[in-house]
Amino acid sequence: MGTSRPGGTVPRRILVVGCSGSGKSTLARRLGARYELPVIHLDSHFWTPGWVAREREPWRAVCRELAARDAWVMDGNYGSSLDIRLPRADLIVFPDLAPALCVARALRRRWRFRATGRPDLAPGCPERIEWQFLRYIWAYRRRHRGRLLAAIARYAPDTPLVRLRSRRQVREFGQSA
Residue 5 lies in a domain: no
Residue-range definition of the domain harbouring residue 151: 13-176
- The DSSP H or E segment spanning 40 is strand 39-41
Which CATH number do you get for residue 108? 3.40.50.300
Residue 41 lies in a domain: yes
- Confirm if 170 and 102 have CB atoms less than 8 A apart: no
If one counts the domains in the chain, the total is 1
Strand partners of residue 164: 95
Taking the whole predicted model, whether its pTM rises above 0.85 is answered as yes
Tens of pLDDT, residue by residue over 30-70, are 999 999 999 999 999 998 988 899 999 999 999 999 999 99
Q: Among residues 77, 61, 73, which one has the least CA distance to residue 21? A: 77
Instruction: Report the Cα–Cα distance between both ends of the chain, in Å, rounded.
Output: 12
Residue 7 lies in a domain: no
Residue 8 lies in a domain: no
Rounded CA separation 45/77 (Å): 12
